[in-house]
C-alpha cells in the first residue's frame, strides 16, 4: 500500500548535473556513460525523497504516461485526473471528496506546500506541468498536517531534457485549447516553462442537462515555470512561479420567471435565459527552495507565497426578482510562509525527521448588496433597492512543528512514530498536539501489511469564513433564516487505518480500511448568490470506509481498477447557523444525518494498449450518487451513474510528420445524462449535471 515514488527521467538528468556542470552538458549531448548518470541521479534523488516519505500511508501514483493515456490527456483539468485515484468522488464546481471529507486536500509542488486560495470553479494547476501526481491518504506521518484528507504531491517537470512541445486541442462545446511547453539547460542552470489557454462554452457544469448550457462561456489561462541552479555536488536552489487567470459566465436554466412576487423600480418580471452573472478568479504563486545534502543530513528550506482573488458580478435588478438579493462580491487573500524540514540518519536502525512550517494569511472581503425592504410579515414595502455594504479585513497565522523517528525493528518490520504540534491564531485561538504511529511489515513474497493511527487538527479554510453581518439584512428580502453565527472551529479527528498489498506476478492487489471519529466535523455549503463556499461544523462526525485496488502491467498492456465504499455522517450544526432552516437545525441537533457529499460507492478503472506508436485507451467513472433531501435532511440520494471515456492516438516517427502526435477522445461515450447535484440538501446550491457526450481531437509537435 505504501508504494515507492516513481522517478521521472527528467529528474534523473537534473540530479546528474549536481556532480558538475560539464557532466550535465555531456549528458544532454549523450556523451556521458549512462551508468554514471544513473548512479549519481539515484543517490541525490533518494536523499531528496528521504525528507518526505509516506511510510505507512496509502499512496496512488499517476505518472506522465498515465496522464497521457487518459482521454483528454494533459489537456484535461487536474481534478479529472485525480478522479482516477481510489476513494475520490466528484462534486459540482470541480470539487473533489476523498474518503468522506468535503475538501481538506493539501497541494504540494515538489513536496513544498502550495497554500489554499479562493476558487469557485477553476483549476489553478494544469496536468501539463506534472511528471508525476501522487495522492497520499490514510494515517499520515507527522510531516503532513492541517489538510489531511489527502496530500496531492505533484512532481513538476524540469528543463534538463532539452526541447518542447506545442499543440492545439478542441472539439465539442466550443473547446479550443492551444498549449506550449519547453525545457532547456544552460551550464549548471535549467528551466521548464508551460502555458495553456482554454476557450470553452462549458465552463461550469450544466444546471439543466443541456450538452452546451446557456450563458456558460469561460476563458482560462495557466502559466507555469520551474527554474533551478546547481551550486555544487551537494546543494541546489530552485524557483517555481505560476499564475492562473479565469473568467466564467454563470450558466442559466431556460424559460424560468421569478416567483417571489417582487417588484424592483417598477419591474416585476425577467426571463432566466437573459441573466448575466459572471465570476472572475485568479491565483498567482511563487516557491523558492534551497536543498543541501551530506552523508548524514539532508535539509530543505522553502519560502512560499500566494495571492488569490475572486470577483462575482450580479445581474441587477433581475437577481433581486429571482432571489431577493443582488450581491457584488470581491475577495482577496494573500498567504506567505516558510517550510524547513530535514532528515538525519542517526544509526542503521533509526532515521530522525523534523521540521517547522509557518504561514500567515490576510483576507479582504468587500460586498455590496442590493435588497428590498420588507415588513414583519415578509411583504415588500418599497420597490427601491437598499444598498448594504459589508467590508472586512482579517489575519491568521498557523505554526506547525513535527519530530518523528523511523525505527527499523527488523529487516521486514518498521515502526514510524512521531509528534506534531499545530497552533492557529485567527478568528479563534486553537492548538493541538497530535501523535502519529505507523507499523509496516514487508514480506518476501510481495506482501506488505500496514496499520496506523493519526490524530488530526484541521482549521477551517480561513479565506472562506464568512464575515457577513447578519443583523444588517434584517427586515429585507435577504434576511437569513436565523441570527446565530458562531465562527467555525478547527476539526479534531482520531484516524485509524489498516491495509494490505499483494503482488502476484504482473498483478498488484490492495485493500485498505479506515475509521474516523471526529469532533467539530467541518463541512462547506453554498449560501447566497455568489458561488463562494462557506465552512460550518457538525459537533460530532463519524466516517468509515474500505478501498479495493488492482493493477496490471505487462508489455503493451496496462490496467487499473479501484472501488471504494464510504459512509460519512454528522450531528448537530454548531457554527454558521444563520444559513440553515431552523427546522433542519432542530432535527440535526438530535439526529445523525448523512453529510451532503456522502457517496456510498465510488469506482474508477482504466486500460491502455499500444502497438508501435499507436495507442488505444479508456477509463470508467462510477458513482452511486451524492446526497439529496428526502424525508429528513440529506435523507435521499441521487441515481447512480457510469461515465465511459475513450481515446486513440498515433505518433508519427518518420518523414515530414516526424514528432507529430494526433489524438481523438470521446468523453461520456454513451451520452449518459446524470445529475451530480439536484439542488437539494444541506448547504447545496443549484443543480449540476455531468458532462454530456463530447468529441475532441488534438495534434501536437515536439521540437
Q: What is the pLDDT of residues 595-639, one digit of tens each?
A: 999 999 999 999 999 998 999 999 999 999 999 999 999 999 999
For 601-611, b/e burial (b = at least 16 CB within 10 A) is ebbbbbbbebe
Mean pLDDT of the chain: 89
- For the record, the C-alpha cell of 643 comes out as 461515465
CA angle 114, 452, 345 (to 5 degrees): 70
pLDDT score, position 532: 67
On the question of pLDDT at 20 being above 70, the answer is no
- Identify the sign of the CA torsion 426, 428, 429, 434: negative
Q: What is the pLDDT of residues 477-535, one digit of tens each?
A: 988 887 788 889 999 999 999 999 999 999 999 999 999 999 999 998 877 655 667 88
Distance CA 304, CA 287 (A): 4
On the question of pLDDT at 19 being above 50, the answer is no
Nearest to 461 by CA among 490, 484, 486: 490
pLDDT score, position 29: 38
Close Cβ partners of 565 (under 8 Å, ≥ 6 residues apart) = 545, 546, 547, 600, 601
pLDDT score, position 36: 37
Residue 91 phi, psi (nearest 5): -135, 175
405-414, 447-456, 519-528, range with the lowest pLDDT: 519-528
- Kindly write down the DSSP assignment for every residue of 602-634, as one continuous string: EEEEEEEEEETTEEEEEEEEEE---EE-SSSTT
Q: What is the pLDDT of residues 653-663, one digit of tens each?
A: 888 899 999 99
pLDDT score, position 52: 73
On the question of pLDDT at 437 being above 70, the answer is yes
Element (H, E) at 558: strand 557-573
Please state the rounded mean pLDDT for residues 546-566.
96
Comparing 584 with 234, which gets the higher pLDDT?
584
On the question of pLDDT at 171 being above 80, the answer is yes
What number of CA atoms fall less than 13 Å from residue 342's CA on the CB side? Answer: 15
Q: What is the pLDDT of residues 84-101, one digit of tens each?
A: 999 999 998 888 999 999
Domains of the chain: 9-702 (2.40.170.20)
Percent of the chain exceeding pLDDT 90 equals: 76
155-164, 172-181, 281-290, 484-493, range with the lowest pLDDT: 155-164
pLDDT score, position 480: 81
Residue 461's pLDDT band (cuts 50, 70, 90):
confident
Q: What is the pLDDT of residues 307-336, one digit of tens each?
A: 999 999 999 999 999 999 999 999 999 999
Q: Are strands 641-651 and 614-623 parallel, antiparallel or unpaired?
A: antiparallel
Please state the rounded mean pLDDT for residues 648-652.
95
Nearest to 121 by CA among 241, 180, 63, 207: 207
pLDDT score, position 444: 87
Comparing 17 with 148, which gets the higher pLDDT?
148
Amino acid at each position: 500500500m505504501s508504494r515507492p515514488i516513481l522517478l521521472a527521467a527528467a529528474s534523473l538528468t537534473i540530479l546528474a548535473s549536481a556532480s558538475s556542470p560539464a557532466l550535465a552538458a555531456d549528458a544532454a549531448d549523450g556523451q556521458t556513460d549512462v551508468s554514471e548518470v544513473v548512479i549519481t541521479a539515484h543517490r541525490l534523488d533518494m536523499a531528496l525523497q528521504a525528507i518526505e516519505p509516506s511510510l505507512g500511508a496509502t499512496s496512488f501514483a499517476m505518472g506522465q504516461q498515465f496522464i497521457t493515456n487518459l482521454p483528454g490527456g494533459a489537456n484535461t483539468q487536474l481534478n479529472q485526473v485525480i478522479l482516477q485515484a481510489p476513494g475520490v468522488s466528484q462534486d459540482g464546481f470541480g470539487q473533489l471528496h476523498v474518503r468522506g471529507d468535503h475538501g481538506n486536500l493539501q497541494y504540494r509542488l515538489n513536496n513544498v506546500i502550495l497554500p489554499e486560495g479562493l476558487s469557485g470553479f477553476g483549476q489553478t494547476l494544469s496536468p501539463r506541468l506534472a511528471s508525476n501526481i501522487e495522492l497520499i491518504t490514510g494515517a499520515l506521518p507527522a510531516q503532513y498536517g492541517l489538510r489531511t484528507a489527502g496530500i496531492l504531491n505533484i512532481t513538476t517537470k524540469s528543463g534538463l531534457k532539452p526541447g518542447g512541445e506545442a499543440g492545439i486541442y478542441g472539439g465539442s462545446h466550443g473547446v479550443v485549447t492551444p498549449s506550449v511547453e519547453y525545457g532547456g539547460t544552460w551550464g549548471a542552470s535549467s528551466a521548464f516553462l508551460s502555458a495553456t489557454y482554454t476557450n470553452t462554452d462549458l465552463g461550469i457544469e450544466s444546471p439543466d442537462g443541456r450538452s452546451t448550457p446557456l450563458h456558460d462561456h469561460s476563458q482560462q489561462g495557466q502559466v507555469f515555470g520551474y527554474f533551478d541552479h546547481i551550486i555544487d555536488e551537494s546543494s541546489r536552489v530552485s524557483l517555481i512561479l505560476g499564475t492562473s487567470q479565469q473568467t466564467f459566465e454563470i450558466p442559466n436554466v431556460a424559460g424560468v420567471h421569478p416567483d417571489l412576487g417582487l417588484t424592483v423600480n417598477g419591474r416585476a418580471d425577467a426571463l432566466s435565459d437573459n441573466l448575466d452573472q459572471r465570476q472572475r478568479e485568479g491565483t498567482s504563486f511563487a516557491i523558492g527552495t534551497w536543498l543541501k545534502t551530506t552523508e548524514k543530513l539532508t535539509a530543505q528550506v522553502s519560502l512560499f507565497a500566494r495571492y488569490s482573488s475572486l470577483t462575482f458580478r450580479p445581474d441587477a435588478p433581475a437577481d433581486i426578482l429571482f432571489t431577493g438579493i443582488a450581491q457584488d462580491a470581491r475577495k482577496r487573500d494573500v498567504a506567505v510562509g516558510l517550510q524547513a524540514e530535514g532528515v538525519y540518519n542517526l544509526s542503521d536502525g533509526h532515521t530522525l525527521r523534523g521540521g517547522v512550517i509557518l504561514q500567515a494569511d490576510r483576507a479582504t472581503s468587500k460586498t455590496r448588496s442590493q435588497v428590498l425592504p420588507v415588513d414583519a410579515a415578509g411583504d415588500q414595502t418599497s420597490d427601491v433597492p437598499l444598498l448594504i455594504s459589508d467590508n472586512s479585513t482579517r489575519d491568521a497565522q498557523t505554526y506547525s512543528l513535527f519530530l518523528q523517528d523511523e525505527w527499523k525493528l527488523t529487516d521486514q518490520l518498521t515502526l514510524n512514530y512521531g509528534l506534531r504540534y499545530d497552533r492557529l491564531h485567527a478568528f479563534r485561538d486553537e492548538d493541538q498536539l497530535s501523535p502519529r504511529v505507523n507499523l509496516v511489515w514487508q514480506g518476501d513474497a510481495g506482501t506488505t501489511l500496514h496499520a496506523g493511527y493519526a490524530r488530526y487538527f484541521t482549521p477551517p479554510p480561513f479565506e472562506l469564513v464568512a464575515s457577513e453581518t447578519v443583523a444588517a439584512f434584517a427586515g429585507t428580502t435577504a434576511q437569513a433564516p436565523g441570527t446565530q453565527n458562531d465562527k467555525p472551529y478547527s476539526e479534531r479527528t482520531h484516524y485509524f487505518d489498516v491495509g494490505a498489498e499483494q503482488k502476484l506476478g504482473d498483478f498488484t492487489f490492495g485493500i485498505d480500511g479506515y475509521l474516523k471519529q471526529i469532533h467539530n466535523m467541518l463541512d462547506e455549503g453554498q449560501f447566497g448568490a455568489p458561488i463562494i463556499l462557506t465552512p460550518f461544523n457538525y459537533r460530532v462526525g463519524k466516517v468509515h470506509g474500505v478501498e479495493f485496488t488492482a493493477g496490471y502491467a505487462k508489455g503493451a498492456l496496462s490496467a487499473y481498477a479501484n472501488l471504494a465504499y464510504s459512509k460519512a455522517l454528522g450531528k448537530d450544526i454548531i457554527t454558521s447557523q444563520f444559513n440553515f432552516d431552523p427546522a433542519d437545525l432542530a432535527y440535526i441537533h438530535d439526529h445523525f444525518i448523512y453529510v451532503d457529499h456522502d457517496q456510498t460507492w465510488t469506482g474508477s478503472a482504466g486500460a491502455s494498449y499500444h502497438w508501435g506508436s499507436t495507442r488505444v485507451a479508456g477509463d470508467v467513472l462510477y458513482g452511486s450518487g451524492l446526497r439529496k433531501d428526502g424525508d429528513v435532511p440529506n435523507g435521499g440520494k441521487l441515481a447512480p451513474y457510469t461515465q465511459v471515456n475513450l481515446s486513440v492516438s498515433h505518433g508519427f516517427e518518420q518523414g515530414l510528420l516526424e514528432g507529430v502526435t494526433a489524438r481523438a477522445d470521446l468523453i461520456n461515450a454513451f451520452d449518459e445524462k446524470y445529475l451530480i447535484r439536484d439542488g437539494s440538501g444541506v448547504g447545496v446550491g443549484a443543480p449540476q449535471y455531468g458532462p454530456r457526450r463530447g468529441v475532441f481531437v488534438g495534434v501536437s509537435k515536439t521540437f
